[in-house]
């Protein structure tokens, strides 16, 4: 992005109702164009919010961090440079580069790094904190040639690496990956010496733009994609299993097919992080089953569900897999070596991201895996991630329930031994709840998304509450699958946000949540901030079932109307009230 574009984007005026995201940018140099680029990239990333990036005082990183500790922003961005660890590592300060000075620089850098770590620990208790460790080259202050790493230089790098390691273990801290930064901004083209001297801004415009983009992506993370549908022949393995036989397919160096093995272990890694993996293959089922019994496969068949293996069109397989997963096509990547298959799937599902597996081009596969890591990457693996694939398999049992009639349905529900844990309170520090609200589409009251600051601000209202539901039954646990945010006063509850994971459909959990609000919270009436969205059909169906007819905002549900329409509920309910 050019500076002129960034200025235009950053200055764009919004409707007064656009929610603000307040970000504090703390750095020791003049924030100048970095502030502009950060603001612009935040706007591009999330057009529905109005980023307000404030900065501290020039040359006072320690003071800026102190100000940050006591401010009430939605996110903190801390950009370090070597001169922040010791001013003698910059060129705006003439403190001497004698070897004895440099030894002192290292000692002082160590102490500053320790103080920084403590400050970040405090700040990150309150807000998401994004940190970038030094991006500029060290100055020519060392006696070795630039090509040779000397002891003091190595110690400085160790101090920064140690700081990164410590900070990466703190929840809510996100660190810019220097490897990614180097891909987009060449280290040799980052430092603007003249600008550093004249304006105290040390970055070239390109570097400032790249850094602003990476920082914005860590302040406002997009929900990762959810699933991959992969082909088998000449994709998951090299060869055509139907022609070459189970022992004829390969994924090894010896067979010049190593990248297929790399792809397998990559998919296995994604599966362990909760990404759904499905197979769409034109093959004989028994042949594929035999192939998956090979012990040297890097991807377990347990990591895959469902398998669509037959001779029908790939688009039919994809359609069935999407139905099984019950997720939108825009959360899915389809991978196949055959361009014709890709074209056929893309025509049927325009919103699926299709990628070709170039079996004879290792570099292309390498780039594909890096792209997939960008699409599916996440900061940590939650309990729900580890349960997702298993619970979708188990959901098949619940889908079959729809084919039962009358008493058989009720018997089925009762025999499932469903258990719900409801947590009622005011704590906004629930990452899973915020994640659910921001990624759920189908059972979603109005599609509203929240930034961290909006989420926190909501609970400034003394009547605000957060209700979450965690579910399990004899078929397995689903984890935390529903979130409801509202305000309660004088017998009326107003629901601002309500979402439930599609994995939890058909279990009457939504009914149990409303029953709790009526019976345990004493509500006589509940109003809902309803908005139809292109994707919240399942929520609309639910309310039509309760209220009948046309849905309008706000929806109003009286206690008597709910209990007249609600089906029998068999859950064992445990309530944890944190008020």
Partner 1 sequence: MSDLEGRLILCFSSVFPELTETEIHNASTDSVGVWDSLSSVTLAAVIQEEFNLEIDPEILPSLESFEGFRDYLKTAAAAHS
Summarize as ranges the residues that interact with partner 1 (CB under 8 A): 2-4, 7-8, 11, 32-33, 36, 194-195, 198-199, 201, 205
Give the 3-state secondary structure of residue 44.
helix
Give the 3-state secondary structure of residue 93.
coil
Least distance CB 140 / partner 1 (angstroms): 22
Residues in the chain: 579
Separation CA 166–CA 505 (nearest Å)? 41
Nearer to partner 1, 200 or 328 (CB): 200
* 132 membership: H or E segment, kind and range: strand 128-132
Least distance CB 19 / partner 1 (angstroms): 23
CB 47 within 8 A of CB 216: no
Nearer to partner 1, 31 or 112 (CB): 31
Nearer to partner 1, 37 or 376 (CB): 37
Least distance CB 208 / partner 1 (angstroms): 10
Nearer to partner 1, 62 or 199 (CB): 199
Nearer to partner 1, 32 or 523 (CB): 32
CB-count burial class (<10 Å; 0-12, 13-18, 19+) for 237:
buried
Q: What is the DSSP letter of 488?
A: E
Nearer to partner 1, 208 or 477 (CB): 208
Least distance CB 3 / partner 1 (angstroms): 5
Looking up tokens 């990457």 gives: 377
Least distance CB 2 / partner 1 (angstroms): 6
SS3 per-residue string spanning 232-246: CECCCEECCHHHHCC
Least distance CB 304 / partner 1 (angstroms): 50
Long-range CB pairs of 205-210, under 8 A, 24+ apart, other chains included:
205/2, 205/3, 205/33, 207/135, 208/33, 208/34, 208/37, 209/1, 209/2, 209/3, 209/6, 209/37, 209/41, 210/181, 210/184, 210/185
Least distance CB 456 / partner 1 (angstroms): 32
Q: What is the DSSP letter of 2?
A: -
Nearer to partner 1, 5 or 541 (CB): 5
**Strand 353-356 relative to strand 128-132, pairing:** unpaired
Q: DSSP letter string over 447-481?
A: -----HHHHHHHTTSTTEEEEEEEEEETTEEEEEE
Nearer to partner 1, 32 or 42 (CB): 32
Least distance CB 5 / partner 1 (angstroms): 8
């Amino acid at each position: 992005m050019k500076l002129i574009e960034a200025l235009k984007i950053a200055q764009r005026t919004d409707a007064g109702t656009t929610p603000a995201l307040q970000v504090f940018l703390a750095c020791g140099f003049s924030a100048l164009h970095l502030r502009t680029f950060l603001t612009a990239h935040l706007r591009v990333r999330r057009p529905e919010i109005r980023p307000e990036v404030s900065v501290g005082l020039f040359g006072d990183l320690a003071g800026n961090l102190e100000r940050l500790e006591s401010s009430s922003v939605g996110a903190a961005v801390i950009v370090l440079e070597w001169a922040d660890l010791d001013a003698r590592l910059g060129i705006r300060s003439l403190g001497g580069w004698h070897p004895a000075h440099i030894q002192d620089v290292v000692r002082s850098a160590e102490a500053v790094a320790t103080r920084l770590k403590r400050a970040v620990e405090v700040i990150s208790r309150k807000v998401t904190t994004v940190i970038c460790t030094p991006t500029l080259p060290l100055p020519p202050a060392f006696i070795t040639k630039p090509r040779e790493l000397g002891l003091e230089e190595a110690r400085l790098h160790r101090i920064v690496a140690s700081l990164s390691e410590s900070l990466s273990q703190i929840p809510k801290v996100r660190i810019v990956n220097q490897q990614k930064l180097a891909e987009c901004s060449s280290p040799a083209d980052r430092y603007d010496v003249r600008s550093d001297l004249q304006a105290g801004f040390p970055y070239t415009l390109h570097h400032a733009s790249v850094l602003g983009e990476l920082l914005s992506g860590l302040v406002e993370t997009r929900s990762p994609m959810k699933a991959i549908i992969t082909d088998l022949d000449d994709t998951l393995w090299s060869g055509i299993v139907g022609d070459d036989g189970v022992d004829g397919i390969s994924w090894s160096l010896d067979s010049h097919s190593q990248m297929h093995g790399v792809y397998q272990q990559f998919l296995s890694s994604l599966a362990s992080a909760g990404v759904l993996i499905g197979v769409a293959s034109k093959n004989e089922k028994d042949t594929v089953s035999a192939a998956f019994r090979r012990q040297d496969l890097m991807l377990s068949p347990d990591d895959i569900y469902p398998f669509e293996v037959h001779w029908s069109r790939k688009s039919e397989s994809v359609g069935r897999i999407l139905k099984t997963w019950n997720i939108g096509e825009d959360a899915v990547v389809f991978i196949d070596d055959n361009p014709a298959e890709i074209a056929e799937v893309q025509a049927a599902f325009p919103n699926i991201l299709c990628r070709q597996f170039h079996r004879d081009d290792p570099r292309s596969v390498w780039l594909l895996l890096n792209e997939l890591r960008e699409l599916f990457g996440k900061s940590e693996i939650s309990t729900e991630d580890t349960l997702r694939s298993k619970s979708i398999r188990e959901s098949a049992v619940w889908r079959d329930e729809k084919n039962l009639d009358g008493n058989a349905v009720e018997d089925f529900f009762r025999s499932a031994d469903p258990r719900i844990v409801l947590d009622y309170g005011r704590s906004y520090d629930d990452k899973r709840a915020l994640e659910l609200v921001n990624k759920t589409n189908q059972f979603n009251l109005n599609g509203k998304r929240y930034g961290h600051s909006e989420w926190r601000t909501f609970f400034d209202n003394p009547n605000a509450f957060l209700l979450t539901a965690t579910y399990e039954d004899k078929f397995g646990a689903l984890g935390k699958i529903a979130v409801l945010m509202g305000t309660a006063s004088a017998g009326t509850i107003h629901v601002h946000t309500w979402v439930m994971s599609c994995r939890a459909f058909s279990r009457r959990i939504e009914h149990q949540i409303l029953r709790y609000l009526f019976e345990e919270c004493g509500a006589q009436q509940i109003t809902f901030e309803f908005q139809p969205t292109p994707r919240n059909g399942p929520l609309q169906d639910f309310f039509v079932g309760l209220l009948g007819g046309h849905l309008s905002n706000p929806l109003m549900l009286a206690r008597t109307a709910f209990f007249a329409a609600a089906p029998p509920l068999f859950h064992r309910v445990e309530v944890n009230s944190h008020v």
